[in-house]
Amino acid sequence: MATRTAAPDAKQRPSKILAVDIGGSKVKFLATGEHEPRRIPSGTELSPSLMVQEVRRAARDWKFSAVSIGYPGQVGGQGPISEPGNLGHGWVGFDFAAAFECPVRIVNDAAMQALGSYDGGRMLFIGLGTGVGSVLIVDHTIIPLELGELAYKPGHTLSTRLGRAALDEKGKKKWRNRVLEMVPTLQRAFLADYVVIGGGNSKHIREPLPPNVRLGHNLTAFRGGYRLWGIDDVPTFGVNGQDFKPLAAISDWRLL
């Protein structure tokens, strides 16, 4: 369980971070120094208070002093700014720092996975899950996108064409062909050096892949959660309104 503490000195950085990746069917989490992620069920009844309660219970033997959350929705300077369509209600305005009793940083789940996948240059990340998540990282600047909202044809978007409902309806082979047909087009449109395909449904993608396209690893979201605490301008939610400004590990990182 996290330890209740005063805000750390500005020159300190949390040494033990709990990274939480919230998905539509399960919530996965891993702490610094641990090797095997743990999981709790997700779904339409999962509220933020229940999520925190169950994560803390399942991680009660782990030590951590800060939390990173990958949230399946839009995130602003005060945390989630929209309710997730596939979870319970109450996420907007919820005090995650008070619930976890330690400082918390929250970004969109695709942004956290992208951050963990980044190897330099200009990378486009495509997250395949309930919908389509997307992030562009250019020279250490993280730019969240909403490519899933792009119209594919009247009445259809990229999310309806490549999301989980399309996978269930069309089957893996046809859905996979759709993905591999679309990815090179997006790569050219964003002048990306390479594309990483992640998200829960990326496991259904098979090689051969188009040039400069690779699959993300299922642990990259946790790596992104750890890296999140090395970026100066990511909003930090402190306990009882306390300010917490850790020293950035990589000073040229930016989150737009």
Mean pLDDT of 2-18: 57
114 within 8 A of 135, measured Cβ to Cβ: yes
2, part of any domain: no
Residues 39 and 67 in one domain: yes
Residues 126 and 164 in one domain: yes
Cβ neighbors of 26 (< 8 A, separation 6 or more) are 39, 40, 41, 42
Q: What would the pLDDT profile of 97-148 be if each residue is shown by its tens digit? A: 999 999 999 999 999 999 999 999 999 999 998 889 999 999 989 999 999 9
- Distance between CA 136 and CA 6 in Å, rounded? 35
- Please tell me the pTM assigned to this model: 0.87
- Distance between CA 118 and CA 113 in Å, rounded? 9
5, part of any domain: no
- Distance between CA 246 and CA 162 in Å, rounded? 39
Report the interhelical angle of 220-227 vs 109-117 (nearest 10°): 90
Mean pLDDT of 223-248: 78
Per the model's pLDDT, the better-predicted residue between 66 and 241 turns out to be: 66
One DSSP character per residue, the chain reads -PPP-PPPPTT---SSEEEEEE-SSEEEEEETT--S-EEEE-STT--HHHHHHHHHHHTTTS--SEEEEEESS-EETTEE-S--TTS-S--TT--HHHHHTS-EEEEEHHHHHHHHH--SSEEEEEEESSSEEEEEEETTEEEEE-GGGSEEETTEEHHHHHSHHHHHHH-HHHHHHHHHHHHHHHHHHTT-SEEEEESGGGGG--SPPPTTEEEPPTTHHHHHHHHGGG-TTS--BPGGG----PPPSSTT-EE-
Residues 202 and 224 in one domain: no
What integer pLDDT is reported at residue 7 of this predicted model? 39
3, part of any domain: no
9, part of any domain: no
Q: What would the pLDDT profile of 49-98 be if each residue is shown by its tens digit? A: 999 999 999 999 999 999 999 999 999 989 999 999 889 999 999 999 99
Residues 136 and 52 in one domain: no
State percent of the chain over pLDDT 70: 91
Count of domains observed in the chain: 2
Residues 103 and 163 in one domain: no
Residues 146 and 202 in one domain: yes
66 within 8 A of 17, measured Cβ to Cβ: yes
Closest alpha carbon to 22 in 83, 116, 109:
109
Residues 123 and 209 in one domain: yes
What integer pLDDT is reported at residue 59 of this predicted model? 97
Residues 206 and 226 in one domain: no
6, part of any domain: no
Residues 45 and 101 in one domain: yes
Around Cβ 190, how many Cβ atoms within 10 Å? 18
Q: What would the pLDDT profile of 20-29 be if each residue is shown by its tens digit? A: 999 888 999 9
78, part of any domain: yes
Q: What is the CATH number of the domain that holds 208?
A: 3.30.420.40
The domain in which residue 59 lies consists of 17-111+220-255
Residues 93 and 128 in one domain: no
Residues 128 and 148 in one domain: yes
Residues 106 and 132 in one domain: no
What integer pLDDT is reported at residue 102 of this predicted model? 95
107, part of any domain: yes
148, part of any domain: yes
Cβ neighbors of 191 (< 8 A, separation 6 or more) are 122
